[in-house]
Amino acid sequence: MMIWFKEYLKLKRALFALLIFHAAIAAYFWIGIRSSFIAGSPVAIWRNVFETNTFFFSVFEKPLYVTGLALAIFQFYPESDKRRFRISCHLPANEYLTTARMITFTIAALTLFWLLDTLCALLAAAYYFPYEVFSQVPLVTFYWYINALLFYAVASVLTLEPSWKHKIRLFIMFAAFYKLIGISIYNSSGIYIVYLLISAALFLSAIFYPAERFRKGAE
């Protein structure tokens, strides 16, 4: 719990700023969808969603990725910049457990942002759209949440890596990671969630490698 508290103290400003950011996005979404249904034809909006697979709540997608990136940078940049991470790992505690706790803290924060976004989208969907559409909202945003975890993992690996030469190598290796993600339709097969969860587990596990290199004093 100490590590979680330490992470909270370190990230509280970033978390608060991100909360404001997500609240602003939610307000923008609500105002947008309400005015669309008042000014436009509900039939045309429904048809657009059914025929073109438009995600009317797509405004939440990129902010979730930005949140993943931002959390990685705010969490690990101070650690690597001031060499704090090396000290943290030499505390009388298991260093892998320490790293794992740091990662799980951010996963928990990202989960809360995802839940907040999903709740906003779901409330609007339940009000304006039939069951066939609003029942798909949590599933689609769950894909985005897993994608946000991938963004977080890759950004963490690059931020935490102590050697600049090695950072560039890792960037080349992971440059195409965004091609592992993506969803474009409703009613997609659940098997893709399994693929994405495996990908997320792999990428999150990869954070331990630069963490270990950092601890060992790689330059």
Partner 1 sequence: MFVNFTRLIIILTASLCLSWALPKLFATIAKKKDETPYITFSAVIKDFLIATHSGKSRYQDTKGNAYTLKEYETLMPFVFTSDLLKWGIYPEEINGVHVPPKKAETDWDSIQVSPSLAHAANTRIQLFPLFESDSEFTSISMPEEFFRIGKRMEFIDASHNKVNEEKSALFTKALSEAGFNFPAQRIAGNPTNHKPYDAGYFVTDASGEMFHIYQARSQPVVVKTDIKAEGGIFFMKVRENQHLPYYGLLVTNPGRVYLILKDRYRLQEVWVENYDPGRQRLNFGVDPLYITVKVLDEEGERSYASERDGIPVKKYFYKYQRRLKYAEAYDTVFTFALNSNPSKRGGFWGITFSKNPSAALSFSLALAIIYTLFLRIQLRIKPKKMIGDFILIALFGIYALIAVILEGFETVGKHKGL
Taking CB under 8 A as the criterion, the residue among 1, 39, 51, 190 binding partner 1 is 51
Give me 45's structure tokens: 């909006």
Nearer to partner 1, 116 or 135 (CB): 135
Report the alpha-carbon distance of residue 154 to residue 123 in Å, rounded.
Answer: 32
Nearest-5° angle of CA 196, CA 76, CA 85? 120
Taking CB under 8 A as the criterion, the residue among 147, 156, 159, 199 binding partner 1 is 199
Q: What is the nearest approach in angstroms of partner 1 to the Cβ of residue 8? A: 26
Contact between 190 and partner 1 (CB under 8 A)? Answer: no
Residues 93-132 interacting with partner 1 (rule: CB under 8 A): 96, 127-130, 132
Contact between 216 and partner 1 (CB under 8 A)? Answer: yes
Q: Which residue has the tokens 């923008």?
A: 28
- The values of phi and psi at residue 27, to 5°, are -65, -45
Taking CB under 8 A as the criterion, the residue among 19, 45, 59, 115 binding partner 1 is 45
Residues 67-96 interacting with partner 1 (rule: CB under 8 A): 96
Compute how many residues bind partner 1; rule: CB under 8 A.
52
Q: What is the nearest approach in angstroms of partner 1 to the Cβ of residue 78? A: 22
Nearer to partner 1, 45 or 66 (CB): 45
Could you please report the per-residue DSSP string of the chain? -HHHHHHHHHHHHHHHHHHHHHHHHHHHHHHHHHHHHHHS-HHHHHHHHHHH---TTGGGHHHHHHHHHHHHHHHHHHHHHTTHHHHHHTSSS-HHHHHHHHHHHHHHHHHHHHHHHHHHHHHHHHHHS-HHHHTTHHHHHHHHHHHHHHHHHHHHHHHH-S-HHHHHHHHHHHGGGGGG-----SS--THHHHHHHHHHHHHHHHTHHHHHHHHHT--
Contact between 209 and partner 1 (CB under 8 A)? Answer: yes
Nearer to partner 1, 77 or 127 (CB): 127
Taking CB under 8 A as the criterion, the residue among 1, 43, 164, 190 binding partner 1 is 43
Contact between 58 and partner 1 (CB under 8 A)? Answer: no
Binding stretches for partner 1 (CB under 8 A): 42-43, 45-47, 49-53, 96, 127-130, 132-133, 136, 157, 166, 169-170, 172-177, 179-180, 182-189, 192, 195, 199, 202-203, 205-206, 208-209, 212-213, 216-218
